[in-house]
């Protein structure tokens, strides 16, 4: 079943449960669909392009300081 808001999850843990119990409950509720969000390959920017943008930005910033 698809959740309305996937960022908020209601669990069966109680306020009095210790950390181990809460983690065990969350581990049991973690599904393959939850994992799928983190395994999708997203388009990336090449490192050389990022470095060039950072150098350009640094050059502009150092010109303003001088």
CA–CA gap between residue 9 and residue 22 (Å, rounded): 13
Closest-CA residue to 12 (of 27, 1, 2): 27
The answer to whether 13 touches 25, Cβ cutoff 8 Å, is yes
Tens of pLDDT, residues 7-66: 667 777 788 889 999 888 888 888 888 888 888 888 889 999 999 999 999 888 877 776
The answer to whether 28 touches 10, Cβ cutoff 8 Å, is no
The 8-class DSSP code of residue 18 comes to: -
Collapse the DSSP code of 14 into the 3-class scheme (helix H, G, I; strand E, B; otherwise coil) and give the result. Answer: coil
pTM score above 0.75: no
């Amino acid at each position: 079943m698809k959740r309305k808001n996937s960022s908020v999850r209601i669990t069966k843990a109680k306020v009095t449960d210790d950390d181990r119990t809460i983690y065990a409950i969350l581990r049991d509720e973690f599904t393959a669909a939850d994992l799928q969000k983190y395994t999708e390959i997203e388009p990336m920017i090449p490192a050389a392009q990022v470095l060039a943008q950072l150098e350009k930005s640094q050059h502009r910033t150092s010109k303003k300081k001088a």
